[in-house]
């Protein structure tokens, strides 16, 4: 064998060829209903132009979220059959506990029905008026759960993280100087925890480096503060560290995840993302006293601490999912297939957040629709057009989601994006090729698109239920 042939023989299967192949084959199929533009226009009217209000079977390609929408594996469905529904001490809980602690060896692991339940419990325990929670960027539910206690949620992502077109390998990094200044200004006694979201969902699915996490840890140590991870996409973040951070390429993914965990004192988690499950989450920590307070709150609303709002079968599916999500073939496919969509749109001149994130491609609606001011919701206009033209459901992440403040005022969000989130192991490359075609077509219609006004909105988390009217 020549040296080149030996080198090629040692490459992982997907690095040798240009074509991205899904590292699985399809075992059971779900039909997609092919709708017409006219049908979709009627559906939009009925939903008040809010894509959360659509019937999902009126959607062709559903890129609303990657949360709980992925396909489970044969082995996860098999694990479900092992689900033990004992109220207390189910063996399924112990399998779940072992799988979580193999990656995140925190002393206390408290299952919850999803990520926001973990957030609600934790912030009820540590939040409250006068308190401040720093984060690289709070996700919407995280921010809402902090604010619901009267505490303030402050984002401290690096400046590059707020400019869609800026290239940076770890655009989700915390701005360490801003974090330190915030803690000094508010007083460490008023900061019950520092959070880091991996990857940074609201900022484009961008990763955080190990070096940055070590920097946050050092600041927390200096002020005696606990560091918590919002770890929804920890495996995707670990893959970016493996690919982009010096000295990490040869490390197995579980080792990188364990180092991330070793830098923190606890975590909140939605297992609907990198748990590869349709439902579930957990709250974990080392602090015994805090864990006791959280378990007491858990029993009030979620259930007994060995099931916490989940069925035993869900705990089994998560345990199996955690083994599968750190597989390198899976992660290579996952990140490359998201990049495939993003790179095709970038090459076509559609403005996207760069570099392409882990779980989603974020279209820069403010750049594509400069004639629509932020308070006329360019992200909403673009998301509606993608659905009307091609039946693609994305999610506005911009002024609709973040523009209304607790004091009732409204201001433009930092960015107006439309997120095309890719459910895990669900769509094939031809579905993605179709999405590329639709987005490119909608970009040609950009000058004709009009903004929206909100007709009706709730007091918080308005993006889920607000009704819109075209301007
Ligand atoms: C970064 C981040 N944190 C928290 C959550 C909340 O998780 P869940 O939807 O399971 O409540 C999400 C969900 O999308 C998320 O992306």
Q: How far apart are CA 129 and CA 396, in angstroms?
A: 30
Atom of ligand 1 nearest to the CA of 117: 11
User: Taking the CA atoms of the chain, what radius of gyration do you get in angstroms?
Assistant: 22
Q: Which of 160-174, 190-204, 227-241, 447-461: highest mean pLDDT? A: 227-241
Tell me the percentage of the chain whose pLDDT exceeds 90: 91
Q: Residue 237 corresponds to which tokens in the numbers above?
A: 């973040």
Answer yes or no: is pLDDT of 104 > 60.
yes
The ligand 1 atom nearest the CA atom of 270: 10
pLDDT at 7 over 90: no
Cβ–ligand 1 contact at 111 (below 6 Å):
no
State the pLDDT at residue 19: 84
Q: Is the CB of 321 under 6 A from ligand 1?
A: no
Residue 248 beta carbon below 6 angstroms from any ligand 1 atom: no
* 202 pocket-lining for ligand 1 (C-beta < 6 Å): no
CA contacts within 13 A on the Cβ side of 47: 23
Cβ 142 under 6 angstroms from ligand 1: yes
Q: What's the pLDDT at 9?
A: 62
Q: What distance in Å separates the CA atoms of residue 140 and residue 125, rounded to the nearest whole number?
A: 19
Element (H, E) at 120: helix 115-126
Q: Which residues contact 344 (CB under 8 A, 6 or more apart)?
A: 436
pLDDT average, residue stretch 213-225: 98
Q: Is the CB of 201 under 6 A from ligand 1?
A: yes
Whether the pLDDT of residue 11 is over 70: the answer is no
The rounded mean pLDDT for the chain is 95
Best substitution site from 67, 204, 321, 402 to test ligand 1's pocket, by max atoms within 8 Å of Cβ? 67
Selection from 388, 377, 446, 384 nearest residue 416 by Cα: 377
- What integer is the mean pLDDT of 178-185? 98
Q: Is 40 exposed, middle or buried (0-12, 13-18, 19+ CB in 10 A)?
A: buried
pLDDT bucket at 247, cuts 50 / 70 / 90: very high
Q: Mean pLDDT throughout 350-367?
A: 96
**Residue 232 in contact with ligand 1 by CB distance below 6 A:** yes
337 in contact with ligand 1, CB cutoff 6 A:
no
> How far does residue 467's CA lie from ligand 1's centre (Å)?
23
pLDDT digits (tens, 9 = 90+) for 262-308: 999 999 999 999 999 999 999 999 999 999 999 999 999 999 999 99
pLDDT recorded at residue 18: 82
Host H or E run for residue 455: strand 452-456
Query: What's the pLDDT at 376?
Result: 97
Contact residues for 419 (Cβ-Cβ < 8 A; gap 6+): 63, 360, 361, 362, 363, 394, 395, 396, 397
Read off the pLDDT of each residue in 187-214 and give the average, rounded to a whole number: 95
Query: How far apart (Å, rounded) are the C-alpha atoms in residues 400 and 383?
Result: 12
Q: What is the pLDDT of residue 407?
A: 87
**Ligand 1 contacts CB of residue 230 (under 6 A):** yes
Q: Please report which confidence band the pLDDT of residue 1 belongs to, taking 50, 70 and 90 as the band edges.
A: low
Q: What is the mean pLDDT of residues 201-210?
A: 92
Q: How confident is the model at residue 91 (pLDDT cuts 50, 70, 90)?
A: very high
Atom of ligand 1 nearest to the CA of 118: 11
Residue bearing the CA closest to ligand 1, atom 8: 115
Sign, CA dihedral 49-117-321-316, equals negative
Q: Which two tokens stand for residue 68?
A: 């709980």
pLDDT on residue 13: 61
Q: What is the pLDDT of residue 12?
A: 64
Ligand 1 atom with least separation from CA of 201: 1
Please state, in angstroms and as integers, the Cα–Cα distance from residue 168 to each residue in 162, 230, 358, 471, following that order: 11, 21, 14, 37
């Amino acid at each position: 064998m020549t040296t080149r042939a030996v080198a090629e023989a040692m490459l992982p299967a997907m690095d040798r060829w240009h074509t991205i192949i899904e590292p699985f084959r399809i075992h059971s199929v779900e039909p997609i209903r092919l709708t017409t533009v006219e049908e979709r226009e009627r559906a939009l009217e009925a939903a008040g132009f809010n894509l959360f209000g659509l019937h999902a079977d009126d959607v062709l390609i559903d890129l609303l979220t990657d949360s709980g929408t992925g396909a489970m594996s044969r082995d996860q469905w098999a694990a479900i059959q092992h689900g033990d529904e004992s109220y207390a001490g189910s063996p399924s809980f112990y399998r779940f506990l072992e799988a979580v602690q193999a990656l995140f060896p925190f002393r206390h692991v408290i299952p919850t029905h999803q990520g926001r339940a973990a957030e609600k419990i934790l912030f009820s325990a540590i939040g409250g008026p006068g308190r401040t929670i720093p984060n690289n960027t709070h996700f919407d539910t995280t921010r809402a759960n902090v604010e619901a206690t009267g505490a303030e949620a402050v984002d401290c992502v690096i400046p590059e993280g707020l400019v869609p077109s800026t290239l940076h390998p770890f655009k989700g990094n915390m701005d360490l100087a801003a974090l330190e200044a915030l803690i000094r200004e508010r007083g460490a006694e008023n900061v019950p925890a520092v959070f880091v979201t991996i990857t940074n969902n609201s900022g484009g699915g961008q990763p955080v480096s190990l070096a940055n996490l070590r920097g946050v840890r050092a600041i927390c140590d200096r002020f005696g503060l606990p560091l918590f991870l919002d770890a929804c996409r920890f495996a995707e973040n670990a893959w970016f560290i493996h690919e982009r951070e010096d000295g990490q390429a040869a490390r197995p993914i579980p080792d990188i995840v364990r180092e991330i965990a070793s830098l923190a004192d606890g975590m909140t988690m939605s297992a609907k993302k990198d748990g590869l499950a349709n439902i579930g989450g957990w709250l974990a920590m080392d602090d015994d006293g805090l864990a006791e307070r959280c378990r007491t709150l858990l029993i009030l609303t979620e259930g007994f601490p060995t099931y916490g709002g989940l069925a035993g079968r869900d705990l089994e599916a998560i345990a199996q999912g955690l083994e599968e999500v750190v597989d390198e073939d899976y992660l290579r496919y996952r990140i490359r297939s998201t990049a495939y969509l993003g790179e095709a749109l970038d090459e076509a001149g559609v403005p996207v957040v760069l570099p392409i994130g882990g779980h989603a491609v974020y279209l820069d609606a403010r750049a594509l629709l400069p004639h629509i001011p932020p308070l006329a919701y360019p992200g909403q206009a673009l998301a509606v057009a993608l659905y009307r033209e091609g039946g693609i459901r994305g999610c506005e992440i911009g002024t609709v989601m973040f523009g209304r403040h607790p004091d009732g005022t409204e201001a433009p969000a930092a960015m107006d994006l439309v997120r095309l989130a890719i459910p895990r192991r669900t769509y094939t490359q031809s579905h993605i090729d179709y999405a590329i075609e639709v987005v490119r077509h909608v970009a040609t219609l950009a000058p004709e698109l009009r903004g929206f006004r909100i007709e009706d909105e709730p007091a918080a988390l308005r993006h889920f239920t607000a009704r819109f009217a075209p301007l």
